[in-house]
Structure 1
């Protein structure tokens, strides 16, 4: 369920931000969003945190512009972004958890 929602959110955000249609249909944005929503929701899930799912959705949304930016930066060098957006976004939310423990 998390994977389906993460992919749907990524596709919607990519369309809203004007992402390249061919990259959206190839699943470039959805792949990293799926990994991110699964990782962030699993890390933040606890009995006291009711917002783990919402945090996962926000992280999936944030993965889309990170993917677009990294792809734009790395493509002139012939390098794909692969899972780098997933790693960066996950680190961002894990770091935010240290600063904001109630997140």
Structure 2
């Protein structure tokens, strides 16, 4: 269920931000969003934290502009972004977890 929601959120955000349709249909934006929502929601899931699902959705939304930015930045070097947006977004939320425990 998390994977479907993460992919849907990524597609919507990519369309809203004007992402290339070919990249959206290939799933390049959705892949990192799926990995991120699974990681963040699973790590933050606990009985006293009711915001783990919301944190996962926010992190999935953030992977779309990070994916677009990294792809644009790395393109002149001939390098793909691959899962770097997933790693960066997951680290961002893991770091924020120490400062904001209810995130």
TM-score interval (norm. to shorter): over 0.9
Under a length normalisation based on structure 1, what TM-score does the superposition of the two structures give? Answer: 0.98
Q: CA RMSD in A?
A: 0.5
Structure 2 unpaired stretches of 5+? none
CA distance in 2, matches of 1:13, 1:102: 25
- Deviation string 1:43-97 (CA, Å, 9 cap, x unpaired) is 1100001111111000000000000000000011100000000000000000000
- Deviation string 1:9-55 (CA, Å, 9 cap, x unpaired) is 00000000000111001000000000000000001100001111111
Corresponding residue pairs, total: 103
1:1-103 equivalent positions in 2, closer than 5 A: 1-103=1-103
CA distance in 2, matches of 1:37, 1:29: 13
Which runs of 4 or more aligned residues in structure 1 lie more than 3 Å from their structure 2 counterparts after TM superposition?
none
Please tell me whether the aligned partners of residues 33 and 61 of structure 2 are also in contact (alpha carbons under 8 angstroms): yes
* TM-fit CA distance, 1:102: 1.9
Structure 1 unpaired stretches of 5+? none
Under a length normalisation based on structure 2, what TM-score does the superposition of the two structures give? Answer: 0.98
CA distance in 2, matches of 1:38, 1:101: 19
